[in-house]
């Protein structure tokens, strides 16, 4: 089996560490923020068309960054009129300016979860759920504390429940690959990802509720109208105007999916009784707790898995059999050493951990972050300082910030061992969870309450996969907000390892 020793990997890391770019910043020149918003209404429409159609998402930011010779500039954020009351934003594209969005003393996060617009609370039972609350709001502390308590109570179930769902996922993947000679990973992953999160929080399969076997598709129907203003369906050019009018100009009304959401609510309220009973300890009514639990489970967690899991296989598949062999060696060695797939075993898998963080760096599942300035303040890029006025919205595009060439060597390249050894120091520039990976979620910030669970799920997915298979091939393509992955082949491990993986 081909593998690179840990000594060799860590030695090679010297080439991955950034130069000491964090200079003393008091000398940075104060400059006007370049860019602008164009004519009222029409400037925002132009920027919207550039963002979705003329230039595309990355092209939109790259073109303006090149034009203004700055990683900080003014532009109109999508979707613009008539959905957003005020589309004007200050764009942040580097690792120096981006973290201002996590400083709760300087930015307000009220109603900015989706950016310059907010979906109707009709999608969430009439409640502003936790994701839309600023930490200064009293309910924020209660709801986030409640979620921390719920997650802690489910800690021992994280791995065994996920392993059960992954067994079914892989069986289905193999079956489809055998019959069709290829397998579309996304719908299979979606089915068992939702099976996992529902089972974790509700203690039963969604199939045993009013949701039946179509649980994840019901949730998808509820999810899409909320995120539609930020995506394009990739329609032909002659249909772009129609698409723009339908999903970018006016909000999709919540009543269109009300029956679907009522079914979701019924399933959670009748199944998650143990979890919902905890709400009173945090001064919350069960109804509000249930709507928040649905959003945490279906939007934050399941929605994130829809993007992250295909992304993992895209990048690992492109890396090829050498990386696969290294992961196989590490994973099987540690599982054998620790006597099973345990927290201790997973924590010792340095390469597996690094691979997950590298995927979260190079293709973060949530690309946008937002915040309004609480006061007049000064933000800094690597090269200059800029004044931001109270109330102005800052809009960070994370895939550029986490591929900042002044922080990461070869930032556009997937480097599996980037965060091993001394490379772990650079985890402070991994921002996928709405905070630095080196800082912890708390009731006083907006960092994802389930951050550690998401990282664990990704690691367990790789552990189970490489206990069962030696290597694989796949093709990947852009799909809505993420990646579509088609498996072309799976090479099974020996019978011994297959048995060991599911003991």
User: What whole-number distance in Å separates Cα of residue 47 and Cα of residue 208?
Assistant: 47
Where does residue 104 rank: exposed (0-12), middle (13-18), buried (19+ CB within 10 A)?
Answer: middle
More confident residue, 279 or 233: 279
Mean pLDDT of the chain: 92
pLDDT at 26: 62
pLDDT in tens, 82-129: 999 999 999 999 999 999 999 999 999 999 999 999 999 999 999 999
Span 67-73, mean pLDDT? 97
Q: Is residue 123 exposed (0-12), middle (13-18) or buried (19+ Cβ within 10 Å)?
A: buried
Q: What pLDDT does residue 138 have?
A: 93
> 90: which DSSP letter?
E
Confidence of residue 25 (pLDDT cuts 50, 70, 90): low
Predicted confidence at residue 497, as pLDDT, reads 52
Is residue 368 within a helix (H) or strand (E), and if so which, with residue range? strand 368-373
Instruction: List Cα–Cα distances, 376 to 113, 183, 372, 386, in angstroms.
Output: 22, 53, 11, 11
pLDDT tens per residue, range 286-334: 999 999 999 999 999 999 999 999 999 999 999 999 999 999 999 999 9
The pLDDT score that the predictor gives to residue 481 is: 75
What pLDDT was estimated at residue 173? 97
d(CA 132, CA 111): 4
Q: What is the mean pLDDT of residues 196-214?
A: 95
Residue 503: the pLDDT is 43
The three-class DSSP label of residue 323 is helix
Nearest to 202 by CA among 164, 157, 169, 240: 157
Across residues 12-29, what is the average pLDDT?
Answer: 54
- The bridge status of strand 393-397 relative to strand 88-92 is parallel
Q: What is the pLDDT of residue 4?
A: 40
Percentage of residues of the chain with pLDDT beyond 70: 93
For residues 363-367, average pLDDT: 93
Checking if the pLDDT of 9 tops 90, the result is: no
Return the structure tokens found at 51: 């963002």
Across the range 361-379, mean pLDDT stands at 96
The pLDDT, as a whole number, for residue 480 is 78
The C-alpha torsion from 308 through 453 and 369 to 437, rounded to 10°, is -110
Beta bridge partners of 370: 395
**What Rg do the C-alpha atoms of the chain give, in angstroms?**
23
Q: Residue 182 contacts by C-beta under 8 Å, 6 or more apart in sequence?
A: 176, 486, 487, 488
The predicted pLDDT at position 476 comes to 94
Which of left, alpha, beta for 404 (phi over 0: left; psi -120 to 50: alpha)? beta
Interior CA angle at 162 toward 159 and 163, to 5°? 85
Q: What is the pLDDT of residues 123-168, one digit of tens each?
A: 999 999 999 999 999 999 999 999 999 999 999 999 999 999 999 9
Distance of CA 154 to the CA centre of its chain: 21
Q: How far apart are CA 241 and CA 234, in angstroms?
A: 12
Domain ranges of the chain: 6-500
Q: Name the band, by pLDDT with cuts 50, 70 and 90, for residue 20.
A: very low
pLDDT per position as a tens digit, 400-422: 999 999 999 999 999 999 999 99
**Does an H or E element contain 75, and which?**
strand 72-76
pLDDT digits (tens, 9 = 90+) for 257-271: 999 999 999 999 999
pLDDT at 478: 85
- What architecture is the 6-500 domain classified under in CATH? Orthogonal Bundle (1.10)
End-to-end, the C-alpha distance of the chain in Å comes to: 24
Instruction: Give the count of beta carbons closer than 10 Å to the beta carbon of residue 238.
Output: 7
Number of neighbouring beta carbons within 10 Å of residue 386: 22
- Phi first, then psi, for residue 365 (nearest 5°) are -65, -25
Q: Model-level pTM?
A: 0.92
Question: What's the token pair of residue 30?
Answer: 């104060």
């Amino acid at each position: 089996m081909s593998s690179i020793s840990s000594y060799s990997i860590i030695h090679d890391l010297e080439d991955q560490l950034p130069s000491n770019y964090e200079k003393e910043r008091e000398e940075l020149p104060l400059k006007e923020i370049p860019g602008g918003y164009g004519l009222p209404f029409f400037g925002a429409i132009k920027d919207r068309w550039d963002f979705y159609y003329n230039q595309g998402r990355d092209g939109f930011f790259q073109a303006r960054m090149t034009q203004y010779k700055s990683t900080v500039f003014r532009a109109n954020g999508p979707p613009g009129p008539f959905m957003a009351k005020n589309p004007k934003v200050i764009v942040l594209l580097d690792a120096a300016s981006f973290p201002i969005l996590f400083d709760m003393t300087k930015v307000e996060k009220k109603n900015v979860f989706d950016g310059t617009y907010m979906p109707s609370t009709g999608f969430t039972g009439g409640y502003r759920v936790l994701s839309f609350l600023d930490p200064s709001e009293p309910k924020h502390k209660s709801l986030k504390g409640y979620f921390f308590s719920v997650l802690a109570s489910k800690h021992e179930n994280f791995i065994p429940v996920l392993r059960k769902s992954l067994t079914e996922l892989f069986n289905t993947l193999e079956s489809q690959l055998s019959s069709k000679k290829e397998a579309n990973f996304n719908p299979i992953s979606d089915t068992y990802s939702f099976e996992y999160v529902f089972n974790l929080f509700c203690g039963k399969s969604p199939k045993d509720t009013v949701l039946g076997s179509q649980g994840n598709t019901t949730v998808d129907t509820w999810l899409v109208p909320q995120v539609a203003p930020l995506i394009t369906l990739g329609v032909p050019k002659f249909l772009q105007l129609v698409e723009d009018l339908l999903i970018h100009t006016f909000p999709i009304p919540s009543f269109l999916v009300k029956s679907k959401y009522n079914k979701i609510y019924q399933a959670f309220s009748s199944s998650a009784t143990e979890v919902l009973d905890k709400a009173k300890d945090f001064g919350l009514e069960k109804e509000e707790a249930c709507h928040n639990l649905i959003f945490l489970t279906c939007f934050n967690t399941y929605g994130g898995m829809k993007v992250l899991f295909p992304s993992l296989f895209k990048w690992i598949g492109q890396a090829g059999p050498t990386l696969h062999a290294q992961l196989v060696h590490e994973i099987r060695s540690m599982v054998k050493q620790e006597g099973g797939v345990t927290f201790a075993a997973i924590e010792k898998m340095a390469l597996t951990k690094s691979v997950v963080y590298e995927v979260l760096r190079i293709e973060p599942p949530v690309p946008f972050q937002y915040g309004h300035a609480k006061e007049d303040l000064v933000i800094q890029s690597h090269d200059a300082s800029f004044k931001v006025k109270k109330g102005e919205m800052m809009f960070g595009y994370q895939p550029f910030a986490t591929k900042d060439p002044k922080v990461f060597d070869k930032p556009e390249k997937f480097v599996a061992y980037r965060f091993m050894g001394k490379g772990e120091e650079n985890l402070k520039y991994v921002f996928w969870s709405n905070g630095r990976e080196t800082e912890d979620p708390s009731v006083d910030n907006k960092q994802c309450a389930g951050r550690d669970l998401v990282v664990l799920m990704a690691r367990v997915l790789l552990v189970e996969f490489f206990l069962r298979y030696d290597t694989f091939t796949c093709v990947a393509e852009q799909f809505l907000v993420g990646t579509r992955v088609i498996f072309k082949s799976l090479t099974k491990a020996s019978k011994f390892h297959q048995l060991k993986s599911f003991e």
